[in-house]
Amino acid sequence: MKRLAPSMSDNGQQTTDNRPLTRASQGAGSKIRLLSVVCCLLSCQVALLVAPPAAHAHLMNTGFGPFYDGLTHLFVTPEDLLPVIALTLLGGLRGARFARAVLFVLPVAWLAGSVAGLLVTPQVTLTALTAAVTIGLGALVAADLPLPLALVVGLTVVLGMLNGGLNGMELAKARVGALSAAGVACALFVLVALLAGQVASVRLSWARVAIRVAGSWIAAIGLFMLGWSVRGS
């Protein structure tokens, strides 16, 4: 067995010649942490889905004002968070250019949809449609198809306007203003920036496979959501 030989440092102290971590090992560690965060988010969303009525709470009351209520709203609403995660993974898998497009287009489209929803008088719920969107985005992540940038941007705009509009209607029902919508948009920007940046830097094949598996989980959760919405209707 090869033993590590001690060496003398410049100040005369004896040190052990430990081999430094390589960039590859450090990168692998960061990817493992990324996948752990994604799995934790998905697990939390499953827990929220199977919980009683609290799982369908429309606006989180933090006690710090409407902006922070909107900031936390995204993370306790599975029908919003799951498609956002799926779209972020999809953009990150396609590269930094796609990830940047999702990062800057999604919060703007979501905010525009929320403002439009605040101005709409009739209150509608499209649970089946949002579940179908979640299934589709999760399936695209699992398939890892070479999609064009225009299609990814189009999907981003559709998701932002659809879910943002539904958010705006719920915010209008709760009688809170555009400040809550701004909080949701800020939460979106932070989440997409953190997640898409990590996914876009993935180079290891096994890490890409793990991200695709996460996409299949999102699609499966979307199927559960679709079944419950159909059963409820």
Give Cα 32 distance to the centre of its chain: 17
Which tokens hold the place of 199?
């996914």
Report the distance separating Cα 214 and Cα 100, nearest Å: 21
pTM beyond cutoff 0.85: no
Name the token pair of 137: 């985005």
Predicted confidence (pLDDT) per residue in 168-184, tens digit: 888 888 777 778 889 99
Q: What is the pLDDT of residues 36-52, one digit of tens each?
A: 555 555 555 454 444 44
What's the CA gap between 77 and 68, in Å, rounded? Answer: 15
Q: Are 118 and 168 in contact (CB under 8 A)?
A: yes
Structure tokens at 220: 């499966």
